[in-house]
Amino acid sequence: MSAVLTVSVILLTGCGSVSGMAYGDNLQDSTYGFALKTVNSGLMASSFASDLCVTEGDVEGSSSVDMTNCSTAALFDLTTKETLYAKNIFMQHYPASMTKVMTALVALQNASPDKVLTATDSVNIVDSDAQVCGLQSGDTMTLDQALHMLLIYSANDAAVLIAENIGGTVDNFISMMNAEAKKLGATGTNFVNSNGLTDSNHYTTAYDMYLIFNEALKYDSFKEIINMKTYSTIWHDSTGAEKKLDISSTNLYLTGSVTAPDGVTVIGGKTGTTNAAGHCLVLYSKNTKGNPYISIVMQAYDQDTMYRVMTDVLKLIPQ
């Protein structure tokens, strides 16, 4: 694995910051593809790629995916380990709330679902891009409750709550996220927060999101949560009084507002939206045979474009 870490160091150095990213721009054209070439040439530990989909660049073939007003898309076959579609998957983008997949992964790796979390003033988020569930200092809930808020409703304050309680400090939790990214070979990624709010030094690639999401799917609780259409819970404030929350998924395939192609069942996923990131989505789906797939769309111009492109990608799933 030392070779993986070496490549990580090489690729993460020299990543300059970019401000005011407009739609259609990218943080930088990542040279992350080098890492995949080293896999294919045998220079990287074989264990890195033995159970992963690997490609050196775009894979389009005769596909009919309309990428108008969308930068990046991908489809990975988890059974055959093939990359069925890839467009700009090594290009770095702001991930928005797809970041929360890594937040959930690190939390599940380091704490039990029944761990009690206590909120501090850090949960008071005023960013206009931030969706919140109204946490206040002194509020208490379990990690399981917070993960539901994080993944179903994309609550940014829940992301901070998790980071501070699991990492001891938010900064330490971010270090844990970046360490996990390197461990997974996600060399085109850098995190500076646990919720995905825009920062010029907070970025990832579609291929890295595949690596991160693929790892999170190893946890049954993660798969169960991302499959939920709605969720209701009660937590307590600093006085012990109950606070109730009823939420619905931000994933329109789950709510029925968008229909998946025939033969494809969307199990769940994670949305992401900010002005800088555009509209993003990573999905876990299955075909009629029950075979699993991961699909990703990044930096779509608007929500309609994101779901249109994702539906085109899902149509490539073999039946």
- By CB atoms closer than 10 A (0-12, 13-18, 19+), residue 114 is exposed
Q: What is the pLDDT, as a whole number, of residue 27? A: 57
Beta bridge partners of 116: 142
Q: How far apart are CA 74 and CA 292, in angstroms?
A: 14
Q: How far apart are CA 45 and CA 133, in angstroms?
A: 43
Q: How far apart are CA 196 and CA 220, in angstroms?
A: 24
Which DSSP state fits 97?
G
Residue pair 215/204 in contact by the 8 Å Cβ criterion: no
Task: Report the chain's terminal Cα–Cα distance, integer Å.
Answer: 36
Q: What is the pLDDT, as a whole number, of residue 126? A: 84
Domains along the sequence of the chain with CATH = 24-280+291-314 (3.40.710.10)
Q: Which SS3 state, helix, strand or coil, does residue 278 take? A: strand
Two tokens, residue 3:
């070779």
Q: How far apart are CA 120 and CA 185, in angstroms?
A: 33
Tens of pLDDT along the chain (319 residues)? Answer: 434 433 333 333 333 333 334 444 455 554 444 444 434 444 444 455 679 999 989 999 777 899 999 999 999 999 999 999 999 999 999 999 999 999 999 999 999 999 999 999 999 998 776 899 999 999 999 999 999 999 999 999 999 999 999 999 999 999 999 999 999 999 999 999 999 999 999 999 999 999 999 999 999 999 999 999 999 999 999 999 999 999 999 999 999 999 999 999 999 999 999 999 999 999 999 999 999 999 999 999 999 999 999 999 999 999 9
User: How many residues belong to the chain?
Assistant: 319
Q: Where are the alpha helices (DSSP H) in 243-302?
A: 252-255
Two tokens, residue 223:
């798969």
Q: What is the pLDDT, as a whole number, of residue 6? A: 38
